[in-house]
Amino acid sequence: MSAMLETPELPAVFDGVKLAAVAAVLYVIVRCLNLKSPTAPPELIYQDSALARFLLKSCPLLTKEYIPPLIWGKSGHIQTALYGKMGRVRSPHPYGLRKYLTMPDGATATFDLFEPQSEHCIGEDVTMVICPGIANHSEKQYIRTFVDYAQKNGYRCAVLNHLGALPNIELTSPRMFTYGCTWEFGAMVNYIKKTYPQTQLVVVGFSLGGNIVCKYLGESQANQERVLCCVSVCQGYSALR
Instruction: Calculate mean pLDDT across residues 18-29.
Output: 84
First to last CA, the chain: 75
Quote the CA–CA distance of 14 and 100 in Å, as a whole number.
69
**Residue 206 and residue 119 share a domain:** yes
86: pLDDT strictly greater than 70 = no
Least Cα distance to 150 among 96, 100, 99 occurs for: 96
Domain presence at residue 10? no
Q: State residue 17's pLDDT score.
A: 81
pLDDT band at 40 (very low <50, low <70, confident <90, very high): confident
**For residue 161, pLDDT beyond 80:** yes
148 lies in the same domain as 54: no
Q: Determine the pLDDT at residue 2.
A: 53
* Eight-class DSSP state of 70: T
Does 122 reside within a domain? yes
pLDDT at 88 over 70: no
Residues 88 and 149: beta-carbon distance below 8 Å: no
Over the stretch 101-133, which tens digit does the pLDDT of each residue have? 999 999 999 999 999 999 998 889 999 999 999
| End-of-domain residue from the set 85, 109, 132 | 85
Q: Is a pLDDT exceeding 60 seen at residue 7?
A: no
- The residue segments making up the domain with residue 138 are 92-233
Looking at per-residue pLDDT, the higher value among 21 and 5 belongs to: 21
* Residue 152, in any domain of the structure: yes
**DSSP type of residue 49:** -
Domain assignment present for residue 8? The answer is no
Confidence of residue 84 (pLDDT cuts 50, 70, 90): low
How crowded is the C-beta side of 1, counted as CA atoms within 13 Å? 0
How large is the average pLDDT for residues 15-41? 81
Q: Which of 39, 58, 85 is the last residue of a domain?
A: 85
The pLDDT score that the predictor gives to residue 238 is: 72
The length of the chain, given as a count of residues? 241
pLDDT, tens digit, 9 for 90 and up, residues 165-197: 999 999 999 999 988 899 999 999 999 999 999
CA-closest candidate to residue 171, choices 98, 110, 99: 110
Average pLDDT over residues 214-228: 96
pTM (global) more than 0.85: no
Same-domain status, 118 and 183: yes
- The angle formed by the CA atoms of residues 78, 80 and 81, to the nearest 5 degrees, is 65
H or E, element range at 231: strand 227-233
Residue 3 has pLDDT above 60, yes or no: no
- Closest CA relative to residue 192, chosen from 217, 157, 168, 238: 157
Same structural domain, 204 and 222: yes
Q: Say what the pLDDT of residue 9 is.
A: 56
Number of structural domains found in the chain: 2
**Position 41 in a domain:** yes
In a domain, 1, yes or no: no
pLDDT-based confidence at residue 61 (cuts at 50, 70, 90): confident
